[in-house]
Amino acid sequence: MLAYSKRKINMKILIVFSLPFILIVSSCTTVKKTGVLGKNRIFAFLYLPKEADPHKLKAANLIHGQPQEWKDWQRRGIIPSRGKTWFDLLKNPVDVAAGILATIDYGGNPNPVVTIDEFGFDFGGQTDTKAAEILRKTKAKMPNLSLAVWQMRGPIAPVLADAYRDVVDLILPEAYVGGEKDYWRIITQVRAAQLQGLMHKTVIAFGLGVGGYPGENWAETKKELEQQVRFLRLIAPESPGVAFFAAGAFRGEPGLIEFADELCGNFDQIPTDGTGLPESLLALHKTFTTPRTTPTLVVSSRWVEPDRRREAPGKLVQPVTMRMFLMNLGDQTAENILIQLRNPEDKGGDAFALGTVSVPGKSVTVAILPVIAKWRVWKTWIIEVEAKDCEVMSFPDG
């Protein structure tokens, strides 16, 4: 009888302690299911041409929608968002900018979404710092507003990464490329997001067709578009989806939008082992994923911007400094790295900015380089890195 009583008491204790555990497991399962913006996958089709009919898309679940249409879109399982450009946000004080985002006409939607086009001006300078403040202030002012941000000019610098981690629901890095020679721009943005713990809410955005400026040739063919999506699946299998900047889609191969929608419908069936990709892209992936003990720095002439004034991004902070984004793929810290920016030989060959920086292992940072002379080119300057016991990879020159 005594033994039976003990078993009975133990069973009661087990039941009591099991109930919270079940509730916790159930809660965790729910979180996993809701994913980003309430979806397991995000397939964003934004800035569609006027002639394109979003109602015909089958897999798309994030679009730009008019405020009065939100109920209709939600019934179809599609998230309607309102778009907002950076211009009148960054030209105003932080409080005013947050008020602008909070008072957009969302049509009474209790769970509105705004996509901000675009942030990422100066690799953590005054303008990026202001953008981060706007995001935080907006979320404090309107907690039910979901924030999606287009990230431009390359990898995410730490100042914005911190704000994105805290208050942004979806990050859309712009990886508009037209061929294999530019795929480094895709993988470096992915790697920077991974190193900063952001990939679970990051959806890489590809450009469809041809842009509005000379040289803006993106995924013009279905073959190229499929290769880009396959490459994304290889380098970021944890990413919750993919996005498309579709404004130039009709200037590419006919049917690009429909084919992108088809790729999204088959997204989970696309292999993550690189099947179907050329050896050059498999090698690029290996370059960025091979374990490295010693410091391995990644730099680019495109990842340099002057510090821009918080009152107006078109004006520079005085005295002028350049801000240069760096990535360290190795385990060990790269200590006291000397960096010089130099004009090409045919433009004088002189150094115009220099400074030192240390980059912890498996991380990103920004070097501050005071300007000491005039730069005579833009984004084609030469980067010189003096780094003892470090490997240095420079893109796009290789």
Residue 287 burial (10 A CB sphere; 0-12, 13-18, 19+): middle
Residue 146 Cα to chain centre, angstroms: 16
Centroid of chain to Cα 214: 24
Beta bridge partners of 296: 391
Q: Which run of H or E residues covers position 81?
A: strand 79-85
Q: Where are the alpha helices (DSSP H) in the chain?
A: 2-34, 70-75, 87-90, 94-102, 126-141, 158-167, 184-195, 222-235, 256-265, 279-289
Residue 150 near residue 117 (C-beta atoms within 8 A): yes
Q: Report pLDDT for 397.
A: 65
The model's pTM: 0.91
296-395 is classed in which CATH architecture?
A: Sandwich (2.60)
Fold of 37-289: TIM Barrel (3.20.20)
Specify the pLDDT at position 19. 38
List phi, psi (to 5°) of 119.
Answer: -120, 165
- Quote the pLDDT of residue 234: 98
- pLDDT value, residue 34: 64
Say which residues have a Cβ less than 8 Å from residue 203's Cβ, sequence separation at least 6: 36, 42, 44, 170, 171, 172, 239, 240, 241, 242, 243
Written as tens digits, the pLDDT of the chain (398 aa) is: 333 333 333 433 333 334 343 333 333 433 344 689 999 999 999 999 999 999 999 999 999 999 999 999 999 999 999 999 999 999 999 999 999 999 999 999 999 999 999 999 999 999 999 999 999 999 999 999 999 999 999 999 999 999 999 999 999 999 999 999 999 999 999 999 999 999 999 999 999 999 999 989 999 999 999 999 999 999 999 999 999 999 999 999 999 999 999 999 999 999 999 999 999 999 999 999 999 999 999 999 999 999 999 999 999 999 999 999 999 999 999 999 999 999 999 999 999 999 999 999 999 999 999 999 999 999 999 999 999 899 999 999 64
Under 8 Å between Cβ of 246 and 46: yes
Q: Answer for the pair 208, 225: CB distance below 8 angstroms, yes or no.
A: yes
